[in-house]
């Protein structure tokens, strides 16, 4: 237990250092005109550790003078790629260490067993210790860094492009979430396979010394490198629908329902709505977990339709929504870190 505590303390220190570095680079913002025609223009500002500076386009300077009073202008922050990568990595790692990883462990256990959320928690702790909820933290931290970096990089680029083309905030949020989610799937498919294997086989005879590296070696030996990417289709669909829903519903709550006027509490409330609203795709996650479970146990992975039909026949439609409670809590947690915080910071 002491070693687990020290490990988590080390990761928290590392995350703090990552956080400090994420605000040391220089950023730029573009005031983008949403007015079509020859008067469409932009003004750029630089900000960050080097202070503020302004440079204007040579066209329509009088129009730009009124940019902040003109509702046809949107300001879009343009951070360096490196800064967005660091910011994304920091936010995702922090969300995992503070609750995301335990919730993932519980959700995975509920999905593949008959346990409810509380039974899953109790069984995980009884089979190991309280810190077993953070099993796989080293690999999860690496995964989280890559996932967060890919998500923020993809989502901010997509949102900036949509706003620059004259799209609204809701469309920008939808595009940002979709692109960020698809970018994550490249990393998350093998990472999800390893994490599911660690949870499914925990406490079983012959798997006592499992870690991320031994699981990877076993899967590659049995299935080849492609074995790590089984379930890639459902994973890509899940991530795209996850983050497009979270981003869109959060933005609707912020702007259409005007929750943003209530400050930080309103922003968090928007994230709660966005997180819960994304749980409609739980059947996709249920099938993904079952695919990964079979591969981790040395079985042949079946088709998406096969798992859907089998689960529905055995457990009814409710079986496709197993784990929806811990997943809903996890969705809220991740949405607050990966959608609400960037909104508040203007990323």
87-109 pLDDT per residue, tens: 889 999 999 999 999 998 999 89
Radius of gyration of the chain (CA): 22
Question: Two tokens at 153?
Answer: 């990089």
Cα separation of 57 and 35, whole Å?
15
Q: Calculate the CA 298 to chain-centre distance.
A: 29
121: closest CA among 131, 104, 106? 106
Question: Two tokens at 82?
Answer: 């490196």
DSSP codes of every residue in 234-252: HHHHHHHHHHHHHHHHHHI
215: closest CA among 162, 115, 140? 140
Decide: helix, strand or coil at residue 113: coil
273-312 pLDDT per residue, tens: 999 999 999 999 899 888 888 887 878 888 899 999 999 9
Phi, psi of 30 (to 5 degrees): -115, 125
Cα separation of 49 and 27, whole Å?
9
Give pLDDT tens digits along the chain (347 positions): 444 455 445 555 554 554 455 444 445 444 444 444 444 444 444 434 444 444 443 433 433 344 344 444 444 445 577 888 888 899 999 999 999 999 989 998 998 888 999 999 999 999 888 988 998 787 778 888 988 998 998 999 999 999 999 999 999 999 999 999 998 888 888 887 887 788 778 778 888 788 888 988 988 988 888 888 887 888 888 899 999 999 999 999 999 999 999 999 999 999 999 999 999 999 998 998 888 888 878 788 888 999 999 999 999 999 999 999 999 999 999 999 999 999 888 77
Cα separation of 336 and 269, whole Å?
9
Decide: helix, strand or coil at residue 74: strand
Question: Two tokens at 127?
Answer: 């089979």
- Cα of first residue to Cα of last residue in the chain, in angstroms, is 38
- Please state, in angstroms and as integers, the Cα–Cα distance from residue 11 to each residue in 57, 68, 94, following that order: 45, 42, 9
Domains of the chain (ranges; CATH) run: 2-25+82-345 (1.50.40.10), 27-79 (no CATH)
Question: Two tokens at 164?
Answer: 């620059």
CB 247, CB 175: distance < 8 Å: no
Specify the pTM. 0.70
* Burial bucket for residue 36 (CB in 10 Å: 0-12, 13-18, 19+): exposed
Question: Two tokens at 42?
Answer: 């932009």
Residue tagged 């508040």 (tokens): 344
């Amino acid at each position: 237990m002491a070693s687990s505590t020290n490990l988590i303390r080390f990761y928290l220190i590392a995350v703090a250092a990552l956080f400090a570095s994420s605000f040391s680079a220089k950023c730029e913002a573009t005031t983008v005109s949403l007015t079509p025609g020859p008067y469409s223009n932009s003004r750029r500002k630089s900000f960050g550790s080097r202070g503020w500076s302004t440079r204007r386009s040579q066209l329509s300077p009088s129009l730009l003078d009124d940019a902040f009073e003109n509702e046809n202008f949107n300001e879009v922050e343009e951070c360096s790629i490196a800064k967005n990568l660091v910011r994304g990595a920091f936010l995702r790692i922090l969300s995992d260490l503070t609750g995301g990883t335990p919730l993932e462990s519980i959700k995975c256990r509920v999905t593949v067993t008959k346990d409810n959320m509380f039974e899953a928690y109790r069984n995980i702790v009884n089979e190991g210790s309280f810190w077993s909820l953070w099993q796989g933290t080293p690999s999860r931290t690496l995964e989280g860094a890559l996932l967060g970096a890919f998500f923020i990089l993809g989502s901010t680029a997509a949102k900036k492009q949509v706003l620059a083309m004259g799209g609204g905030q809701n469309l920008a949020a939808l595009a940002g979430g979709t692109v960020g989610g698809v970018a994550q799937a490249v990393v998350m498919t093998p990472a999800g396979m390893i994490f599911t294997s660690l949870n499914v086989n925990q406490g079983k005879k012959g798997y006592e010394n499992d870690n991320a590296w031994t699981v990877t070696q076993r899967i590659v030996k049995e299935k080849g490198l492609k074995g790590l990417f089984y379930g890639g289709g459902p994973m890509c669909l899940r991530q795209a629908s996850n983050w497009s829903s979270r981003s869109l519903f959060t933005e609707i709550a912020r702007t259409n329902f005007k929750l943003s006027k209530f400050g930080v509490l309103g922003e968090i409330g928007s994230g709660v709505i966005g997180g819960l609203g994304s749980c409609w795709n739980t059947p996709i996650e249920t099938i993904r977990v079952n695919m990964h479970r079979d591969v981790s146990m040395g079985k042949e992975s079946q088709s998406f339709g096969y798992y859907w039909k089998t689960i529905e026949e055995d457990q009814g439609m409710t079986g496709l929504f197993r784990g929806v409670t811990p997943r809903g809590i996890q969705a809220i947690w991740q949405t607050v870190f990966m959608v609400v915080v960037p909104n508040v910071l203007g990323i």
